[in-house]
Amino acid sequence: MNIVVLVKLVPDLVEELNIDPSGAALDMSWLRLIINEFDDHAIEQAILLKERGGGQVTIVAPEYEGVDEVLFTAAAKGADRLIKLSGDASAGSAQVFVAANNHALARACAAVIKELQPDLVLTGVQANNDLDGPLGPTLAECLGMPYVGYISGVTVSDGKVTARKEYPGGLIAEMEVKLPAVLGIQAAEQPPRYVAVSKVRMVMKTAAIEERAADALDPSGGPAVGRMFQPEAAVHAEMITGSPDEVADKLVSIFKEAGVL
Amino acid sequence: MSQDIFVVIEHLRGQVADISYVMLAAAGELSKGIGGNVIAVLLGNKAEGLAGNFAAVQVLYLDHPALADFTSDAYQKALAGLISEKQPRAVLFGNTSIGADVASGLSIKLGLPLVSSCRSFGADGKFVSQICGGKIMAEGDLPSPTALVTMVPGGYKPEAGQSAQPPALTRLEVAGLDALRVSLAKYIEPEAGDVDIAKEPLLIAVGRGIQQQDNIQLAEDLAQAMGGVVCGSRPVIDQGWLATSRLVGKSGKHVKPKVYLAMGISGAPEHAEAITDSNTIIAINTDPKAPIFDIAKFGTEIDLFDLIDPLIAKVRAAKGG
Amino acid sequence: MPERVDFWGIPYTWGSPAIYVYTLMFLAAAILLVRFYLRARLWWQVGRPEVRWDKLHVRIGRLIKYAILQTKILSQRYPGIMHVCIAWAFFMFFLGTALATIDTHFYKILVGYPFLLQKLVMDTFTVVFFVGAGLAVYRRFIQKPRRLTLSAGFTFSLVMIILIVLGGLLTESLRLAVEKPAWAWWSPVGWLVAKIWIATSASDATLTAWHLGVWIAHLLIVVATLVTLPVGTLLHVLTGPLNQFFSKLDRPTGRLARLPENGKGEPIYASTLRDLTWKQLLDGDACTECGRCQDACPAFAAGTPLNPKQLILGVRDALRADGRALLVKDLQAPLLVGEKIKDEVLWSCTTCGACVCECPVLIEHVDAIVDMRRYLVIEGRMDAELQGALENFGRYGNSFGQSERMRARWTQPIQPPIKDARREPVEYLWFVGDYASYSPTLTDVTRMTAEVFQKIGLDFGILYDAERNAGNDVRRIGEEGLYEMLVEKNTTALSKCKYQKIVTTDPHSYNTLKNEYPQTSEVSETSEVSALPVLHYTELLDQLIRSGQLKFSKKLGLKVTYHDPCYLGRYNGVYDAPRRIIQATGCELVEMPRHGERAFCCGAGGGRIWMAEGEIQASPESSPRRERPSESRIREAVALDGVNTFVVACPKDMTMYRDAVKTTGNESRLQVKDLIELVHAAL
């Protein structure tokens, strides 16, 4: 089973997010980039499938600042091949990719992934910086493969895959998908495993990251942003202050007024 | 090429999802800005009955056995044909397990621009989307020629998308739905929980801030003292600390209790959208910048671990005394 | 002229008794040595090598202190006196027998007063022995403390040694009953017993026959004891002193061993017996099953699966079961970790070091636990909360999951602004620590500390955003790679600063900065010269008080008790400085029963503060009350008459005890304050 996982790095929401001087984009200078948590789940799901049924797992990621460590960590978990997409060197790849929209990323990655001839492509169902739809279904269409998203369980049988698709309220739909296909992972069947730092460091000595040059990015299909801003809440909660006892008292009176006490 | 605004209706097992009505309301507002008719697009098999209360000028009903239940391949193929034929000004999808599966594919296939996570439209038809967990808003002109838009709830009330008058229904035949690559094997019901949190009037909700599984007991104690039910946001359910039947959020249940007490919940959009219909939201979170405070009626920055014991004591006193 | 008679009353009919005695004893000794070798060889043939024979003079000193003087055993009065009576009696009997041998074969020394003195001493120690034996019998059969193993093997050993001494006493008394020498009172006890025999009016021949019988029995019992010693509960007589001799030089365990590597340079993670060092295997065989570690262990008291005594015995039992088979070099060793020693057992440890401190034979429990945890970490076997904490450490350098830029947010209101040690030289570089920096409930205390430093006029600065978690607990969790990464970041930051000393308010950071940082840096593998000069703030303030630089203007007059933080007290011996500060602020210090070396851990160490707590259960041996270690400690404090303040000197203690005061409902009776709060109030 030839599995490819496409990984994006996204802004870490722990840091404060600022708008850049143009007023229409995020200020990149203060951004810390971390792996999209859903892509992390996709890696875990891929490794689980490999552990169960054998095969090869290839991780593909565009070149962001800090992507090497993400790739090596995946290798330490059991990924076999690591491929990094490098962009136009003069512009500074890292800058290029972090500002690219998913249409551009999908087209650039599709070229590389096609070559790998995967049976299954896994990627996170969404990312926190998606503005032109998630990467998964966009990529799928570029590859000419079917797509099912919001997946929390994958079983492989010959030629096809049974994917558990999540609907609201805890309802699951079991979808049968003909391979090759792209799945958008909501949650892996177990939480992403821990990899000790020393294991990652050991892997850094033995694993190699293959670099592929990406063609010029084509972002057409994404929207033009006129302005970005931090939302001002139209309303804000009435804040209750005081000691825990005082706050508890106020809450009890709110409960009574609301008719639940 | 028309000015019409299409709304792709989402339905699951005979129920129309709230997001469909939200989109119909959004489409109504958008049409005020840029003109055009609101046209509901309903895909299904023998599903005409669902269209009774759509606030739309017309319903285009695509009927085919392969469309009886949602599958991404069939819906995408059917919509591709419809959109390239009708060429509307905009097509609204839900940013959901249904809409998000097909919108992007259509964007590439038909070469049409896509905007996602849209919350509302401005008076001039500008889209306003939210990204980065709701911390950043992006605004822009509605792209041309046909804008595909996936929408999140919160900007409009579902009631605004409902109408007493059933709209005119036009039945269309669908071709080309053979050689489908995705098929539905079966549905799996959620584990029958002891309670249906969607029907409870008082919910005590816990999020990441509860920190450890053992602390859930504190919430249980409070729920017991008050006669309420404990529920949780995604991180808590993912850890297995609460049953999936207690999940409140985009993939869980939408709730509308009288009182929703959110403890240690940040208020990320996927959770927020599921609780906005609550009567009174009370948020307890030590982070004053937590987005939950933007949708809550009351809030406090007190540490929930400092608050909970006095609160339980006072609740018991209020009930007993 | 009083003198010793060789083989009195033993007939020479079948040749000299010496032949029988020496043949039997020689055989017994040979069997003892062979059996001991068969056990001992497993240590170095199965276990990993380790150098433990450096600094012989220190090690011999240890032997004298712990094996002869037995100071650790004496730390508890009843069992201490009991064991010392028995042990010293046997030392004296051994000396006595050695003198008798010399007397028989080499030089007649037991003549005249030397002889009489020897008789008196032997008799005295016979009494001493029986006092000890009496105490032992009472303890083992009436008192029955939970920490002991009350099994037949121990009863057997006790019976044998009683019979041996009894045999000696009886033979002596029977001989005295026949000889009735003038100097009989020089063997007071023997003579008293002899009077009983005399009173039976048995003839000399009868008494001599009895004497022969008892003498033969005594000989055979000695032989039996020697022959069973290596496989019975008396083995500790040999393994105990050996273990003390080979114990870690830098006790207590302030510094952990680095990750070992095999011949191919690959790291060794301890998952089987083969991965433990020979010393760790010896630890198993040296254990006397006394259970003092168990009694001292906070994890055990809280009902977690960890029992330090059973852990060590588990190693011993595994070696007994599998050791011989493992002598075949290539045989795959069965898994120890996860099988005989469960994951939960290893994760329950707070690394407080109480077990190590209490152990009379100097077993090193904590090192073994950390070694095995390193295996669990590499396998990714830990609970989700701990995983989250480690991922936060890796990504953000703190367990709170907050940005590095938020680390110094607490400094905002401080005027004048605290110096940035990265930009300007300072005399004292204050390593603040995670909890003091990020925990919202501790911000006040941290600010107070800064105020105090400023008021005293210290020239100090902090690392601001460049500081990372010092890594002490990360290392004890077993994530050695992450630990090294944190050390790299901190040492890089420190190397760019100019400072005289590092002062820290966090004992965990203190421990690793002081004892371990030089070890992991490339430069100072061998030398201690570039050890970081680290002070805990209590040491610094104590110095300043004693030099007169710091004076208090008020006397607080509070009645307080002080909790020794594990990593400040037990690990690094800083007990007095904080107490002197408390005195200097005019407070009256009342000690809790478990104080100083015996202080009872709050339960947060070893990464426990980031792990799921698990259900607090009462195991049959633990106290019947279901409570956390911190709650037990608060109850201990509340029991002190008139004490209303619980003084701590560690941010984790602060966090744990504030909670425990609430959960035990003692908010009106006890306040938890950091020592710096007293200092601040008294300035």
Residue C10 above 90 pLDDT? no
**B286, C440: Cβ pair inside 8 Å?**
yes
- Report d(CA C650, CA C643) in Å as an integer: 20
Distance from CA of C662 to the nearest CA of B (A): 9
Enumerate the residues of chain C whose CB falls inside 8 A of the CB of residue A191: 384, 387
- Residue B300 in contact with partner chain A when CB distance is under 8 A: yes
Q: In chain C, whose CA is at the least distance from the CA of A69? A: C395
**B214, C613: Cβ pair inside 8 Å?**
yes
**A148, B72: Cβ pair inside 8 Å?**
yes
CB-nearest to B185 from A162, A227, A231 is A162
- Report d(CA B68, CA B183) in Å as an integer: 11
Together in a domain, B58 and B127: yes
Q: Is residue B181 part of a domain?
A: no
CB-nearest to A196 from C395, C402, C481 is C481
Give the pLDDT of residue C625: 56
- Report d(CA C244, CA C255) in Å as an integer: 18
Q: In chain C, whose CA is at the least distance from the CA of A30? A: C405
- Report d(CA A200, CA A20) in Å as an integer: 35
Q: Which CATH number fits domain A2-213: 1.20.1260.10, 3.40.50.620, 3.40.50.300, 1.10.10.60?
A: 3.40.50.620
**A200, C481: Cβ pair inside 8 Å?**
yes
**C390, A14: Cβ pair inside 8 Å?**
no
CB-nearest to C385 from B212, B305, B309 is B212
- Residue C261 in contact with partner chain A when CB distance is under 8 A: no
Q: Is residue B272 part of a domain?
A: yes
Enumerate the residues of chain A whose CB falls inside 8 A of the CB of residue C404: none
Asked if the bond preceding B190 is cis, omega within 30° of 0, the reply is no
Optimal mutation site among C386, C441, C615, interface B, most CBs of chain B within 10 A:
C441
At C173, is the pLDDT very low, low, confident or very high (cuts 50, 70, 90)? Answer: very high
Write the CATH number for B231.
Answer: 3.40.50.1220
Instruction: Evaluate whether C682 touches C456 at the Cβ level (below 8 Å).
Output: no
Give the pLDDT of residue C449: 96
Q: Which chains touch A (3 or more CB pairs under 8 A)?
A: B, C
- Report d(CA A76, CA B245) in Å as an integer: 35
- Residue C395 in contact with partner chain A when CB distance is under 8 A: yes
At C526, is the pLDDT very low, low, confident or very high (cuts 50, 70, 90)? Answer: very low
Say which amino acid occupies B302. I
Q: Is residue B282 part of a domain?
A: yes
Instruction: Evaluate whether A66 touches A43 at the Cβ level (below 8 Å).
Output: no
Residue B169 above 60 pLDDT? yes
Average pLDDT over chain C, rounded to whole?
A: 91
Share of chain C above pLDDT 90, in %: 75
Q: Is residue B36 part of a domain?
A: yes
Q: What are the angstrom distances between the C-alpha of C133 and each of B304, C301, C382?
A: 58, 30, 47
> Which residues, at least 6 apart from C141, have a Cβ–Cβ distance to it below 8 Å?
none
**B137, A228: Cβ pair inside 8 Å?**
yes
Q: Is residue B106 part of a domain?
A: yes
Strand, coil or helix: what is C336? coil
Distance from CA of C407 to the nearest CA of A (A): 12
Give the pLDDT of residue B19: 92
Chains A and C: how many Cβ contacts under 8 Å?
Answer: 42
**C482, A196: Cβ pair inside 8 Å?**
yes
Give the pLDDT of residue A28: 84
Which range is least confidently modeled, B241-255, C284-298, C644-658? B241-255
User: How much is the ipTM here?
Assistant: 0.90
Q: In chain C, whose CA is at the least distance from the CA of A200? A: C481
At C523, is the pLDDT very low, low, confident or very high (cuts 50, 70, 90)? Answer: very low
Write the CATH number for B49.
Answer: 3.40.50.620
Give the pLDDT of residue B68: 94
Q: What is the pLDDT of residues B113-159, one digit of tens each?
A: 999 999 999 988 899 999 998 889 999 999 989 999 999 988 898 89
Give the pLDDT of residue C32: 96
Together in a domain, B127 and B34: yes
Optimal mutation site among B13, B73, B108, B144, interface A, most CBs of chain A within 10 A:
B108
Instruction: Find the helix packing angle between A67-77 and A197-206, rounded to 10°.
Output: 100
Q: What is the pLDDT of residues C237-275, one digit of tens each?
A: 999 999 999 998 876 557 888 888 888 888 999 999 999
Distance from CA of B228 to the nearest CA of A (A): 9
Residue B268 above 90 pLDDT? no
Q: What is the pLDDT of residues B217-231, one digit of tens each?
A: 999 999 999 889 999
- Report d(CA B63, CA B83) in Å as an integer: 16
Give the pLDDT of residue A147: 97
Q: Which chains touch B (3 or more CB pairs under 8 A)?
A: A, C
Other residues' Cβ atoms within 10 Å of the Cβ of residue A212: 15
Q: Is residue B184 part of a domain?
A: no
**A195, C396: Cβ pair inside 8 Å?**
no
Q: Is residue B187 part of a domain?
A: no
CB-nearest to B212 from C440, C613, C662 is C613
**B298, A224: Cβ pair inside 8 Å?**
no
Residue A104 above 60 pLDDT? yes
> What domain count does chain B have?
2
Name the CA radius of gyration of chain C, rounded. Answer: 30
**A198, C267: Cβ pair inside 8 Å?**
yes
Boundaries of domain holding B252: 197-320
What mean pLDDT comes out for the span C297-316? 94
Q: What is the pLDDT of residues C23-58, one digit of tens each?
A: 999 999 999 999 999 999 999 999 999 988 888 999
Instruction: Evaluate whether C168 touches C130 at the Cβ level (below 8 Å).
Output: no
Domain stops at, among B172, B205, B235: B172
Share of chain A above pLDDT 70, in %: 96
Domain stops at, among B172, B188, B223: B172
Q: In chain B, whose CA is at the least distance from the CA of C609? A: B212
What mean pLDDT comes out for the span C121-150? 95
Other residues' Cβ atoms within 10 Å of the Cβ of residue C139: 16
Residue C379 above 50 pLDDT? yes
Q: Is residue B252 part of a domain?
A: yes
Q: What is the pLDDT of residues C187-197, one digit of tens each?
A: 999 999 999 99
Q: What is the pLDDT of residues A190-215, one digit of tens each?
A: 999 999 999 999 999 999 999 998 87
CB-nearest to C662 from B211, B214, B309 is B309
CB-nearest to A194 from C390, C403, C405 is C390
Together in a domain, B160 and B208: no
The interface residues of chain C toward chain A in range 475-534, judged by CB-CB distance below 8 A, are 479-482, 484-485
- Report d(CA C658, CA C671) in Å as an integer: 8
Domain stops at, among B156, B172, B188: B172
Q: What is the pLDDT of residues C566-625, one digit of tens each?
A: 999 999 999 999 999 999 999 999 999 999 999 999 999 999 999 977 655 554 444 555
Asked if the bond preceding A180 is cis, omega within 30° of 0, the reply is yes
CB-nearest to C401 from A14, A191, A194 is A14
Q: What is the pLDDT of residues C630-657, one digit of tens each?
A: 999 999 999 999 999 999 999 999 999 9
Give the pLDDT of residue C522: 45
Give the pLDDT of residue C357: 94
- Report d(CA C465, CA C410) in Å as an integer: 12
Together in a domain, B150 and B202: no
- Exposure class string for C362-400: b at 16+ Cβ within 10 A, else e: bbbbbbbbbbbbbbbbbbebbbbbbbbbbbbbbebbbbb
Chain CA centroid to CA B190, Å:
18
Give the pLDDT of residue C529: 40
Q: In chain B, whose CA is at the least distance from the CA of A127? A: B132
Together in a domain, B59 and B108: yes
What mean pLDDT comes out for the span C391-419? 93
The interface residues of chain B toward chain A in range 19-38, judged by CB-CB distance below 8 A, are none
- Report d(CA C508, CA C506) in Å as an integer: 6
- Residue C405 in contact with partner chain A when CB distance is under 8 A: yes
